[in-house]
Amino acid sequence: MKFRAPHEEESRERAWAVVRAAYAQREPVAWPRKHARPLIAGAVVVAAVAAVLSPPGRSVVHSLRKTIGVKQARPALFSLPTRGQLLVSSRGGVWIVRRDGSKRRLGGYRDAAFSPHGLFVAATRANELAALDPKGNVRWTLARPAPRFPAWTGTRTDTRIAYVSSGKLRVVAGDGTGDHALGRAALVAPAWRPGRGRVLAYSDGRSAVVIDADTGTVLRRLAPAPKRLAWSSDGRLLLVFSPYKTRVYDGSKPVAADDPSDATFDRDATFVGPTHEVVAVRAAGSPAGAGSSVFSISTGRTLFRGTGDFDRITWSPNGRWLLVSWPTAGQWVFLEPGHPRRIEGVSRISSQFGGFPRVEGWCCAR
């Protein structure tokens, strides 16, 4: 098909003026050492083999992790850098971490979520959804097949928990009553819209679906099929994240987008605290290019980068600190991106939680 679109030359010159200005303002960020990635990737393989073959090899792995991660990382999680408490899950169960670094294991659960004010925790295991207090005492349980991804919303007197079980989105009241199914759902954590009304976003496997949970009315269907859903804290914007295509919607209108290049993909994305800015974790798509970075979708600014894989990113409740999970280095990295930038690494995270933990939430600046 031979074709020239109207106004092609004029549009090109207008666009070039804008794109050239953006290019001139960009800040190229170089990797610290030109050949560090292939060398470290090779060393990781050697060390992994050594670890399997001999017990002393494990110390090699540990040394290598120290090489990859943040230098001068603390050897244990002595404290959190700001107010609030973390909820994390690992092979060893679900844990609450308080600001002073004290940890309490709530039990052998798989997923967990804070209640709206952080006073309770909803948790799941094989065939059970449970509500717990912060000491791990069980308030109620509900037997359902393979429940996953609880999400809790509401006021101090009236709350709802959404979760996924047997391919269905289900909602139950905060006291464990009135459990009912709302529709077919994929294994993706649903997300309640903050604010008034009970509006819920979930994945049906083909798209993001926004529904009124009280009536079951579908309000919108939005592309792409998400791996993560998140609302801005004012409830206005919805982040629909997938590794190869991410969109931010204001109602049905896309207002921001991220499309990784063919050989890269995103691992996670989230709103920056109470703002409408979105940051994402970008990973190289091939084993040889093992690098990750955290960057702003809105500005392109790189906040943090390193060798190997980053996993989840979680903002502190006050929006000042970002927690980057870095399994390759065995570290959590707390990052305050302001000026001057502050970085606090914590190493040997796996040994403190019985496996590398997934951050389920950072709640409630109390």
Partner 1 sequence: MAGSRRDERARVRRAQAGSASEFEALFRAHWGPAYRAAYLVVRDAAAAEDIAQEAFLSAVRSLDRFDRRRPFGPWLHRIVVNRAIDWARARSLRPEAEEVDAPAPERPERDDELLRELGRLSPEHRAVIVLRYLLEYTPGEIAELLELPRGTVNSRLRRGLDALKERLQ
CB of residue 337 to partner 1, shortest distance in Å? 16
Is 135 an interacting residue with respect to partner 1 (CB under 8 A)? no
CB of 218 to partner 1, least distance (A): 14
Applying CB under 8 A, does 33 fall inside the site for partner 1? no
Residue with tokens 């199914």: 181
Nearest one of 31, 39, 101 to 332, comparing CA atoms: 101
> Of the ranges 2-10, 46-54, 145-153, 211-219, which one interacts with partner 1 (CB under 8 A)?
2-10
**With binding defined as CB under 8 A, does residue 286 bind partner 1?**
yes
Is residue 93 exposed (0-12), middle (13-18) or buried (19+ Cβ within 10 Å)? buried
Binding of partner 1 by 219 (CB under 8 A): no
20 binds partner 1 (CB under 8 A): yes
Residue 4 interacting with partner 1 (CB under 8 A): yes
Rounded to whole angstroms, the Cα distance separating 246 from 241 reads 5
Q: Are 130 and 122 in contact (CB under 8 A)?
A: yes
- Measured in residues, the chain has a length of 366
- Residue 143 found at the interface with partner 1 (CB under 8 A): no
Q: How far is the CB of 155 from partner 1 (least distance, A)?
A: 33
Ordered alpha helix ranges (H), the chain: 8-25, 36-53, 57-68, 349-353
User: What are phi and psi for residue 81, nearest 5 degrees?
Assistant: -75, -10
State yes or no: residue 223 binds partner 1 (CB under 8 A).
yes
User: Does residue 339 belong to the site contacting partner 1 (CB under 8 A)?
Assistant: no
Which residues does 80 contact at the CB level (< 8 Å), separation at least 6?
86, 97, 98, 99, 101, 316, 334
CA dist 139 and 66 (Å) reads 42
Determine the interface stretch with partner 1 among 178-186, 192-200, 278-286, 306-314 (rule: CB under 8 A).
278-286
Q: Is 3 in the site for partner 1 (CB under 8 A)?
A: yes
15: contact with partner 1 by CB under 8 A: yes
Q: Which residues on neighbouring strands pair with residue 209, listed in sequence order?
A: 202, 221
Using rule CB under 8 A, residue 252 touches partner 1: yes
User: Shortest approach of partner 1 to residue 291 CB, angstroms?
Assistant: 9
Q: Which is nearer to partner 1, 7 or 135 (CB)?
A: 7
Output phi, psi for 220, to 5 deg. -155, 155
Please, what's the b/e burial string for 112-136 (b: 16 or more CB within 10 A of its CB; e: otherwise)? bbbbbebebbbbbbeebbbbbebeb
Output 271 or 295, the one with its CB closest to partner 1. Answer: 295
Binding site for partner 1 (CB under 8 A): 1, 3-8, 11-12, 14-16, 18-20, 22-24, 26, 28-29, 223-224, 244-245, 247, 252-254, 257-264, 282, 284-286, 289, 293, 295, 297, 299-300, 302
